[in-house]
Structure 1
Amino acid sequence: MKKVIIGLTIMTSIAALTGCSGTSKSDTTTGVQTGDNEKFTIRLADGSPGDEVLKVWNQVKDMYEKQHPNVTVEFVLQDPQLYQTMGLPSLLNGENAPDIYFEWAGDRLKTRVNDGFAADLTSALEQDGLKGKFAEGNFVGMVYDGKKYMIPTDSQVTNVIWYNKKIFSEVGIQQPPATWDEFMADCAKIKAAKYIPITTGNKDLWTAGNWNAHLISRVVGEQAYADAMQMKVPFNTPEFAKAMSYMKQIWDNQYINESVNGINDDEGAALFFNGKAAMYPSGGWFISGAKDHAPDMDYDYFNMPNMPEGKGDQGSVIGVLEGYVVNKNSKHIQAAVDYLKLLESPEVVSLLSKAGSSMIAPGAEPETNPVSLKLKSMMESTKTVVSPPDTGYNLEVADALNSATAEVLGGVSTPEKALEKLDTKIAPLKK
């Protein structure tokens, strides 16, 4: 799961907003003496945002460095999948560890706190530039023992089903499906018209895994899903097998690209952007991708259809809260906080929202993208937010579930066999 960060190109606005002098004699958070002329570097780690966004990041870097002549900003960017798995822990434990790093709220952040890599930002959030920007509800999964360890940026919907409105109209689909049976009927129409009904690039497992986790929660119920992810109950049950059977139905009916497990997410998205596939399950970051790769496409989305006899909330949304953490071991915590103030400034937030991010802090201009507004409204109005496997739970359990999804969606295993293998794989983790 990936979000996009973009910067502001109006230097005069940033100068007024930062309120920070480049000649500060000390880091007021850590007490580390910096001196008027001491030069140092702050490093920000994240998954690679793509070439176009990186150009704007460099503009923001230049603005910050002009306001802080003694500071150099360095981006440490990795492939998003690498960053999400072993990349970030390696960076934090290595030389030249990042001062700021992107993370998801919940268990992942809790791990960083427990491992001593997250600074307490409670007082920093009371400083000018951050104070009053967030409601307490924005810090869900970011507070431990009464201390706040993250500055929120996004509330991200991590999976809906995007669809090409032109293809839907061409094959006679008047409105998106509300139920699973309607969804399957629409897939049959699309297949008959020689389009790929659904495209997914699941080589890295998380793409279909994220989608299927939401489906599972709808079928078995959110608590049953969470209990299994926390290894309190087994996965290999009739209820979970029923949930997994819907992915098998998609494969058996050839409603998904045959290459589903052999290509990555970008390659799966390309089939959608090129008009070869009608639907593409993905998250809110899709909007910025569409802007870059298919600016003329007429698209929309629908949430997971209601599942037959589903025990979960059929209006649930799968998503996460995201943000930046300041490394507790940084020697320049206040400088890092000042950089994040810039990213949370109203003008920057406005541009982030225009780029497709569901920003939490208010911007100088109201959000205008109707699809972004609809996504944000869906996230804010839902009663139930389901955590994705790889951001809310143990990563080894997440990988095991995502692997089981790939086996069923690719026609390799039955639901029962895949779930049996899943339970066997995670059994050592329970000891």
Structure 2
Amino acid sequence: MGSTTLKTLLMATSILATAGFAHAADTTLTIESWRTDDLAIWQEKLIPAFEAKNPGIKVKFAPTPPTEYDAALGARFDAGSAGDIITCRPFDKSLEQFKRGNLTSLNDVPGMKNFSDVAKAAWTTDDGKDTFCVPMASVIHGFIYNKDAFDKLGIAIPTTEAEFFAALDKIKADGTYIPMAMGTKDLWEAATMGYQNIGPTYWKGEEGRAKLIKGEAKLTDPEWVEPYKVLLKWKDYLGDGFEAQTYPDSQNLFTLGRAAIYPAGSWEIGLFNTQAQFKMGAFPPPVKNAGDACYISDHNDIGAGLNAKSAHPEEAKKFLEWVASPEFADIYANALPGFFSLNSTPVKMADPLAQEFVSWREKCKPTIRSTYQILARGTPNLENETWVESANVINGTDTPEAAAKKLQDGLDSWYKPAK
């Protein structure tokens, strides 16, 4: 063997050795998600921040379109090809994956102590023993309003139900603006921006929700019927043809400056900031009487879990520990104004509208949408039925009492509270 051949061989061996060494040193974690719109935020902000602190661990964000995510993820779990980190939808879809053994209990992740029970509710077993996803963000309900319209008409931010309707009357009498932009055609809008937005004020948030699940309250009780009575009064302020108005129509009416108030989810903030040519503000759901406790729907939206069959469980846990940290909370919430951190360490929001929404946590009691945990598992599905009845009440085709009775009868047909 000539010396050149020997040299080449030695060189090849040393290159292979370094390649082997590099391979052993770097672990790549893959994140599964339905948030295709978050790709840039992960690539430019989140992943570099984690990798800088954790040399040797590389992270790849690999999203699937939202409509395909659940089916595709299920297929990848079955095939053993799912990513290491699983972005978790709230409640039953993720609970199902945990029960199937696809997600791991994360009780021992140190950062889990940074989250309240309400924050963890969407990713905790019914008995409260295991939490299987780190809470990442929630969305908050309330009302976004056109500041220019309010200033022009001399309207102060309403804090009580009476002030709210007085403001709507003033806007209606002036005639320049549709008082409130909401339609009933898409059904879910009436329930999510209507019933679930103002309802916690009447059923006392978590207290009422827990009673419903335990069977100690019924949807026909006064505190569950009353929000429908209030929604029925909204009908006069929604503008002509609201029955045919879709969700995008409502968004456009508001951002084009044609409506003064928009019953909202905080996820609108990013879009509205780019489209509205006027100053915006926000206020929480008005209380019934001055001095009453205020409640907000602060609804768990997204979490992160660990694939039970991940080849890199220790590295993946390190990543999840970081997702549970105030640093992640700060970067994520500010990159996506309107998707708020669930971390107990408050995040200061750079966006003023987002800061307004999140400030309500200091003074109002948080709860989640009443239909999402446990009560939407049977047929008829209480969540979907609530969409239908919320629209029916506003359209005037069902009375608040008739709507409540339909919902309770449907629930009674399959739900037996655990005794």
**TM-score clears 0.5:** yes
Task: Work out which of the two has the higher radius of gyration on C-alpha atoms and give 1 or 2.
Answer: 2
Amino acid at match of 1:45: S
Distance in structure 1 (CA, Å) of the matches to 2:316 and 2:27: 14
Amino acid at match of 2:295: S
- How far does the alpha carbon of each residue in 1:291-338 deviate from its partner, in whole angstroms, 9 at most, with x for none? 3333x531111111122699xx64112113442122324444445445
> Which residue does 1:305 correspond to in 2?
286
- How far does the alpha carbon of each residue in 1:324-372 deviate from its partner, in whole angstroms, 9 at most, with x for none? 1223244444454455466567665444333314324599x95433433
SS at match of 2:164: helix
1:327 pairs with 2:313: no
Counting only pairs closer than 5 Å after superposition, residues 202-281 of structure 1 correspond to structure 2 as: 203-210=185-192, 211-222=194-205, 223-228=207-212, 233-237=217-221, 239-251=223-235, 253-255=236-238, 258-259=241-242, 262-264=245-247, 266-281=248-263
> Which residue does 2:332 correspond to in 1?
352
> Which residue does 1:316 correspond to in 2?
295
> Which residue does 2:163 correspond to in 1?
182
Amino acid at match of 2:190: A
CA shift for structure 1 position 161: 0.6
410-419 vs 347-356, greater mean Cα deviation: 347-356
SS at match of 2:407: helix
Amino acid at match of 1:247: L
Count of residue pairs brought into register by the alignment? 381
Distance in structure 2 (CA, Å) of the matches to 1:190 and 1:87: 46
Distance in structure 1 (CA, Å) of the matches to 2:348 and 2:288: 35
Alpha-carbon spacing, 1:309–1:426, altered in 2? closer, same or farther (3 Å) = farther
Of 74, 81, 84, the residue aligned with 2:62 is 74
CA contact (8 A) 1:65 1:73 kept: no
SS at match of 2:103: coil
Amino acid at match of 1:385: P
Distance in structure 1 (CA, Å) of the matches to 2:75 and 2:313: 17
Amino acid at match of 1:415: P
Distance in structure 1 (CA, Å) of the matches to 2:47 and 2:290: 55
Distance in structure 2 (CA, Å) of the matches to 1:176 and 1:100: 43
Distance in structure 2 (CA, Å) of the matches to 1:76 and 1:414: 42
Larger % of helix: which?
2
CA contact (8 A) 1:91 1:98 kept: no
Alpha-carbon spacing, 1:71–1:293, altered in 2? closer, same or farther (3 Å) = same
**How large is the Cα RMSD of the aligned pairs?**
4.1
Distance in structure 2 (CA, Å) of the matches to 1:188 and 1:69: 59
> Which residue does 2:399 correspond to in 1?
414
CA shift for structure 1 position 167: 1.0
CA shift for structure 1 position 43: 4.1
CA shift for structure 1 position 69: 8.9
Amino acid at match of 1:386: T
1:45 pairs with 2:27: no
> Which residue does 1:19 correspond to in 2?
none
SS at match of 2:34: strand
Normalising by structure 1, what TM-score?
Answer: 0.72
> Which residue does 2:9 correspond to in 1?
none
CA shift for structure 1 position 401: 1.9
> Which residue does 1:400 correspond to in 2?
385
1:198 pairs with 2:180: yes
CA shift for structure 1 position 176: 1.1
SS at match of 2:64: strand
Alpha-carbon spacing, 1:89–1:182, altered in 2? closer, same or farther (3 Å) = farther
CA contact (8 A) 1:121 1:147 kept: yes
CA shift for structure 1 position 228: 3.5
Alpha-carbon spacing, 1:417–1:139, altered in 2? closer, same or farther (3 Å) = closer
> Which residue does 2:366 correspond to in 1?
385
Identity of aligned residues (%): 21
Alpha-carbon spacing, 1:385–1:40, altered in 2? closer, same or farther (3 Å) = closer
Distance in structure 1 (CA, Å) of the matches to 2:142 and 2:293: 13
CA contact (8 A) 2:34 2:66 kept: yes
CA contact (8 A) 2:46 2:332 kept: no
Distance in structure 2 (CA, Å) of the matches to 1:158 and 1:234: 25
Of 14, 39, 47, the residue aligned with 1:54 is 39
Amino acid at match of 2:40: K
CA contact (8 A) 1:199 1:257 kept: no
SS at match of 2:242: coil
CA shift for structure 1 position 184: 1.4
CA contact (8 A) 1:167 1:278 kept: yes
Distance in structure 2 (CA, Å) of the matches to 1:209 and 1:270: 19
CA contact (8 A) 1:138 1:152 kept: no
CA shift for structure 1 position 381: 3.8
CA contact (8 A) 1:119 1:149 kept: yes
